Amino acid sequence: MKHPVIGIPCCRWWLKESQFFHLVGEKYVRAAVGAGGLPLLLPALGEATPLEQMLELVDGLLFTGSPSNIEPHHYGAASVDGDFNDPERDATTLPLIRAAIDAGVPVLGICRGFQEINVALGGTLHRKVHEEPGMSDHRDPGGTLDEMYALAHPVRFVDGGVLQALTGRSEAQVNSLHGQGIARLAPALQAEAHAPDGLVEAFSVKGARGFALAVQWHPEWQYQDNPLSLAILEAFGKACAARRDRRG
């Protein structure tokens, strides 16, 4: 049986020799494989993106993390000097998210992808969570990769929510590598997990026609060793496989 095709929208970065590159971190590609899928990298074409045709190519979409931040004007805030943005990715993913949810295409968002879904549906972001009153510092501690991705704090799952159903648990420890976070949750979203300081760490889309979950942490990192990560990827993969089967 064919693997479900999992589309992964690319970042578009200026790397060298006055050239742009479309790229995705390998850990996300491997996580898509771990979910049982065949990864398909989708270029950041911006306003030239043929949304309907792109959705016809895939059985699910994985919106990844990235060092870049969403341009603030997308959620009604002013630009910040020195911020690392990726406008072509924004112009690709934000409308693609809305189209995918409308079409019932399974969606999983991670870190930046989590924030993209919130912004695409009308939510806003804290640009520096650690500077907000009462909030903790959610940035990575630096050091080696193992130290950066080490479990950092607990998240508590919403009673009766998606994550509680997937795991049979009420909370879990997660890593934390983000400077930005949700300020106002979009009306179409419902919280699925919170950090100890109250920050929304996971959400689902209310009444979605397909799987639609996003998390602020990084389940793709060494997912095979983490029961929560495996549960998320397995559920996403099953939803993608179901769409493949429906489409024949």
Distance CA 91, CA 168 (A): 37
Q: CB under 8 Å to 63, separation ≥6 — which residues?
A: 9, 93, 97, 107, 108, 109, 110, 112, 113, 114, 116, 117, 214
Catalytic residue among 126, 138, 178, 218: 218
Joined together, the tokens standing for residue 7 give 């589309």
Catalytic residue among 11, 126, 220, 240: 220
Cα-based distances in Å from 14 to 11, 74, 86, 117: 10, 22, 10, 24
Catalytic residue among 11, 111, 192, 201: 111
Any catalytic annotation for residue 11?
no
Any catalytic annotation for residue 88?
no
Q: What is the DSSP string of 140-186?
A: ---SSHHHHTS--EEEEEPTTSHHHHHHS-SEEEE----S-EEEE--
Any catalytic annotation for residue 218?
yes
> Residue-wise over 112-141: b if at least 16 C-beta within 10 A, else e?
bbbbbbbbbbebbbbbebeeeeebbebbbe
Annotated catalytic residues are 111, 218, 220
